[in-house]
Amino acid sequence: MRRLFLLLCIIATHVHASPSQSAVFSNLLPYAGKVSSIEPRDSKRNLEIPAVYIDQGAWHGFHLPTAVEDLGSFPGPLIIAQEYSIYFSKNVQQLTVFDEQGLQRKLSDAPQQKRYSLPNGLYQKYEWPDLKLFVELRFIDNRSASVLTEITNTTNETRRWRLQWQGQPYNAHPKLKDYQLIQSHQIQGTTSRWQLTPVENTWNLLLDDANYQIQFPRTVALKKQTHHGYLASTTLSLAPRATQKIRAIHQYFHTQTERVAHQLPISVEQRISDNERNWHLKTKDIDKTPQGRMAVKAIMTLTHNWRSKAGNILHDAVTPSVSFKWFNGVWAWDSWKQAVAIARFDQQLAKSNILAMFDYQFQKKDAVRPQDHGGLPDVIFYNKSPARGGVGGNWNERNGKPPLATWAVWHVYLSSKDIDFIKTMYPKLVAYHQWWYRNRDHNQNGLVEYGANVHPAHIKEGKPNRQAIIEAAAWESGMDNAPRFDEKDDLLVLKNINNKGELVGYSISQESIDLNAYLYAEKRWLSQMAKLLSFHEESKVWQQQAQTLVQKIQTQFFDEESGFFYDIRFNGERRTRLVEQGKGVEGWIPMWAKAATPNQARLMVERHLTNKQFATTVPFPTVSADNLSFAPARYWRGPVWLDQAWFGLKGLKNYGYHKHAKRLANQLVNHAEGVLNDGVIRENYHPLTGEGLHCNNFSWSASVLLLSYHEWLANELQ
């Protein structure tokens, strides 16, 4: 089997990308750069090279070269070592070409040369009067990448060429004293395999018995070099106008068990052809405008952040960003937003992305938090947290995240028409919905608060830790440092006690408008799901609950004088809308949820959709530009987060303000830095200047750009 695979690597006909795709969707992201160290990061903890190419859920990726010594090769790889991205090597497969006189053919001197990316891979071309060299990197499966070297004799005479590859890994880690990355290095036949040293450093690096290997075909001679390096070479005799190809397979495995279980496909070429076809299907309905290029870039960003199941991530899922140090996990509300967009091009991945979080829905017999049955963790990683019997993991079970799962499941169903998925998810969604009312409605008035779970971090000297609980409540909202969660004397921390007298969680004394609007929307979608499953009585109950809640939203959270929705601060019988604290983007969520009256929507649009408030250069800042707390570059205190912008835009459309929505959607993509050119998609944006802020290659921003394209921007310039 292995010999057949290797033979096919050498003789199979190569499938090139289609010319139309090459012309339209090339170079959408900045993959090019030089790897400078094992963990090169900028001041914002992003990787120095803005984008890394990964496909098919793999846990390793590559770049295009810029340095002369890297030409013809692909810098890296970056490996995602369970929770942290590091570079395994500066360039683990450096190519050198020698002619029959033994002289090096320098690629930098090639009269014609081109290095470019397409959605399906990275490519390089070099041409001289007597020689053509083509090099490509494509992913075969979720653990394997192919580096193909194709050499063509363009003369009418037989020529001989020697191809040589070499590389060595990094070894020392700058933040781990005395640690050596490589435990051992072996050459077995035509495979160079590096065994990585296990390490358990919670904040910098986590590894089990991982290994990286490169497998060359049997025509290549392979030998060890010093410092865990290798040298591979082959001599080719090329007839006039003949072409030969050499394919190397790069694989990264988290464990030896994973490596032994993995099987390469018999036909690599067929797998590459299939993947090219998949990329064509993903992009075939996207137009050739700058907005269309943006949409494809969004799909690519989501794909680069896709991780196949591994460790304690039991389903394939999309992480927030491979570029940022702390974002190689799976967050709850990120997953919901991602799934809605992913369903437009990969319905199976969209479902899997949701299931990855629900694999850890708390049950009544949960060993750690049975009181939270139905709830979900905030974030999960490859490694379980110590509280769950893991080592070094950074799971967060201190709080949940806003209830958008039902929205996601319903939209995945609309794309897939998979009623079995609804059957699977409906009881899970019901339990999740009920958790909010059981564990976060302190005064049982049907209006829910953000809060915190029972957790050791929330106790200090035997009492509730006020600061930690307010911090967790802000995290639970997703708006980590928003002004509405600033610690003030009238913001209370409240214990939530069940009918057995048991502590089940904490609330802050603030009924949040976004949370209750999300729950209203959930009731509506749960009603539709129940009807679809022929649970007609349940459907009616959900409708009744929705009607009761929407009346409370419309009458209690809306301030008629200012014409806006606000959170409610309460202390006993005293209830106050947070009007003096100023407007936040959460006030637009009722329009997205269809919970506002038409008149309330009209007042909001007429009074607050101005360039001095929410219609800024990049629209829908998290804090209104006329709010005294407005800080346009401070995370949730002013920057535009595209999920909130999406909710605002959809809210406008829901109430018939179509021209407003389309104008602001165009304003967003036209002014947000890098969106319509080859820049990376950012975590958030400066609302006044459009500057991209914080992390690179952010998944839910990519999701919103893709959804906005289909909603408002397709064929915009045609």
Helix ranges (DSSP H) in 305-440: 332-342, 347-358, 405-416, 419-439
Alpha-carbon gap, residue 606 to 588, rounded angstroms = 13
Kindly report the length of the chain.
718
How far apart, in whole angstroms, are the C-alpha atoms of residue 249 and residue 7?
A: 13
Distance of CA 712 to the CA centre of its chain: 23
Q: Please list, in sequence order, all residues whose beta carbon lies within 8 angstroms of the beta carbon of residue 556, skipping any fewer than 6 positions away.
A: 447, 568, 575
Distance CA 77, CA 74 (A): 8
* Identity at 332, one-letter amino acid code: A
How many C-alpha atoms does 404 have within 13 Å on its Cβ side? 25
The amino acid occupying position 165 is: W
Can you read off the two tokens belonging to residue 520? 């209203």
108 closest CA partner among 150, 65, 77:
65
Which DSSP string do the residues of 131-161 spell out, in sequence order? EEEEEEEEEEETTEEEEEEEEEE-SSS-EEE
| Structure-token pair, residue 136 | 């490509």
Spatial neighbors of 12 by CB under 8 A, at least 6 apart, are 245, 267, 268, 269
- Catalytic machinery residues: 480, 683
C-alpha closest to that of 553 among 609, 596, 494, 608: 596
Q: Which residues contact 51 (CB under 8 A, 6 or more apart)?
A: 29, 30, 31, 63, 304, 323, 680, 696, 697
Q: Which helix (H) or strand (E) holds 654?
A: helix 642-654
Answer yes or no: are the C-beta atoms of 190 and 3 closer than 8 Å. no
Whether the Cβ atoms of residue 124 and residue 137 lie closer than 8 Å to each other: no
* CA gap 667, 640 in Å, rounded: 13
Backbone angles phi, psi at 97, to 5 degrees: -115, 130
Taking residue 255's Cβ as centre, other Cβ atoms within 10 Å add up to 16
- Which of 560, 438, 446 shows the shortest CA–CA distance to 504? 438
User: How far is it, in rounded angstroms, from Cα 241 to Cα 151?
Assistant: 10
DSSP tag of 220: S
Q: How far is CA 616 from CA 600, 630, 653, in A?
A: 21, 12, 18
How far from chain centre, in Å, is Cα 131?
41
Q: Where are the alpha helices (DSSP H) in 200-313?
A: 256-261, 268-283, 290-304
Q: 84: which residues sit within 8 A by CB, 6+ positions away?
A: 39, 204, 205, 206, 325, 328
DSSP states of 516-528: HHHHHHHHHHHHH
CB 83 within 8 A of CB 329: yes
Q: Which whole-number Å values give the CA distances from 611 to 174, 529, 580, in the listed order?
A: 47, 40, 21
**Phi and psi for 528 in degrees, rounded to 5?**
-65, -40
SS3 assignment, position 136: strand
Residue 338, strand partner residues: none
From 602, 601, 621, select the one nearest 612 (Cα to Cα): 621
Q: Please give the Cα distance from 594 to 297 (Å, whole number).
A: 31
N-terminal to C-terminal alpha carbon distance within the chain: 52
